[in-house]
A and B are shown apart, each in its own frame.
Chain A
Amino acid sequence: MASYSTNEFKGGLKVLVDGDPCSIIENEFVKPGKGQAFNRVKLRNLKTGRVVERTFKSGESLEAADVVETELQYLYNDGSHWHFMDQKTFEQYSADENALGESAKWLKDQDLCTVTLWNGTPLLVDPPNFVVLTISETDPGVKGDTSGGGGKPATLETGAVVRVPLFVQEGEAIKVDTRTGAYVSRAKED
């Protein structure tokens, strides 16, 4: 297995810490004039998303984490797992709830997602930045109703709830920014 010495540490490097895949955020070289050199490293645990700080003896090595980001097409959900396919190799992958997290509520079959694979298993699934989804339920907007701050909640076909302008109606397709969960526009008919 490949490994990286502290001299190779830099932002974005994927390493194993306590058996978990982590991405280096920051690497600081610390050394007393007459003493042991250390590297103080900030890492994001890619399984939990948590940021941890670790100190290593300079010259130490960490095992490389076999982490790759790839684009996969979402196929379907079987009730417990989400299934994806690599469009070039047709290889299929299944991701669990942990890998999906909040992403689950944006996924519609055929969507191209950015999937972080660790040893070939999906670790993180990021939906496309923008998705087009149909509104399955929303109150008919009444002109002049300002109680919702100029908007109203709408439930989308995937179950996600977003605030939409009053003029948007049930059955319409809208474009949503998945990073913020905000309504962008009505989807153009084509």
Chain B
Amino acid sequence: MGHTTWRPSAAPPVLRARAKMLAEIRAYFARAGVMEVETPLCSRASGTDPALEPLRTRYTGPGAPTGEVLYLQTSPEFSMKRLIAAGSGPIYQICKAFRDGERGALHNPEFSLLEWYRPGFDHHRLMDEVADLVRVVMGRRLPLRKLTYAEAFSPLGIDPHTATAADLKERARVLGMAEAEHLELDAADPWLDLLFTGYIECALGRGDLCLVYDYPASKASLARVRSGVPAVAERFELYIDGVELANGFHELADAGEQQERFRRELAQRALNGRSLPAIDQNLLAALEAGLPDCSGVAIGLDRLLMVLLGKPRIDQVLAFPLERA
């Protein structure tokens, strides 16, 4: 094994396709007047998303004689919002993000992200731009299909905004998931994730660009919540060929609400036995100073390349996935 792992797992044409994709993205944003930026990959604070585990490293030297923990970013979101709050105008970044514990056909713990922010855009306007960019990169005018999270669930006869964990467990059992009996999922959200990944996702984006939007408020993450019945998170995801490619938000700008979400997420992390990273006080200060109304989105570039080339495994588009790194 050792003597073959020096070779890249992506074939030469794939490496060329990646270079071309990156050039097209940069040209697209140059035309659109969106500025490319760079922000730190290593920070003293990290996101608190209960479903994400950051990788950690350590800096020792001037300013930190006994060493300090630095988190490798799970996404560049917080730094980029600080730039927006500081008046940067529309910006994009192509960078690496890192997530511990994630490895599979669609996951590598280190992966490439394209993230961009549009002051003055709501999530619908940004969804249209996402579709436009993806069409340019794919060189194909795939039709656009938008459906709400609730509409995505309707084939299963589930209302994701009102269903309880018990309802969803029963639904999973009826759908033939024998293990529903034994799975210990403590809330409706993980049951929705189970049903979505098991029964819905694979049918999305077959022959079109499928954008799912307006998530249950409990899945808001960093999106603003629009009050109403039901209240919905102004969040969206892009699917092509059954693969989740992008996640976007009409960004939460309220510092108090953000602080409250940090607190709630850290409590959830403590319950799940996850690490408890420091809250990003710089982000809170930036929101306090004033984040312009904006929407932002991150696209997984490795997955976009997979879809572009019809490759089912992320290893086929990475020069050196985890095992060869």
Contacts and interface: CB of A to CB of B under 8 A. Distances in A.
Say whether A associates with B.
yes
B177 A36 contact: no
Interface residues of A, number: 19
Interface in A28-71: 28-38, 40, 52, 54-58
Nearest to B49: A34
Interface in B101-134: 101-107
Contact of B194 (A7, A29, A34, A38): A38
Contacts of B193: 32, 35-36, 38
The residue among B104, B201, B219 with the most chain A CB atoms within 10 A of its own CB is B104
Given A29-B102, A29-B104, A32-B197, A54 B178 contact: yes
B102 A37 contact: yes
Interface residues of B, number: 31
Contacts of B183: 55-57
B51 A34 contact: yes
B214 interface: no
Contacts of A38: 193-194, 197
B185 A57 contact: yes
A56 B52 CA distance: 18
B102 A31 contact: yes
Contacts, number: 67
B33 interface: no
Nearest to B237: A33
Contacts of A52: 178
A190 to B, nearest CB: 43
A30 to B, nearest CB: 5
Contact of B198 (A29, A37, A55): A55
B105 A32 contact: no
A64 to B, nearest CB: 17
B294 to A, nearest CB: 19
Contact of B247 (A29, A34, A56): A34
A54 B179 contact: yes
B153 interface: no
Nearest to A30: B197
A71 B105 CA distance: 37
Nearest to A57: B183
B251 interface: no
A36 B185 CA distance: 9
B259 to A, nearest CB: 19
Interface in B231-250: 237, 244, 247
18 contacts: A31-B104, A31-B197, A32-B193, A32-B244, A33-B244, A33-B247, A34-B51, A34-B219, A35-B189, A35-B196, A52-B178, A54-B178, A54-B179, A55-B177, A55-B198, A56-B179, A56-B183, A57-B183
Given A54-B179, A55-B198, 14 more contacts: A28-B105, A29-B106, A29-B107, A32-B196, A33-B237, A34-B49, A36-B185, A36-B190, A37-B51, A38-B197, A40-B198, A55-B177, A55-B179, A56-B179
Interchain residue pairs A-B with the least CB separation, the first 3: A29-B104, A35-B193, A36-B190
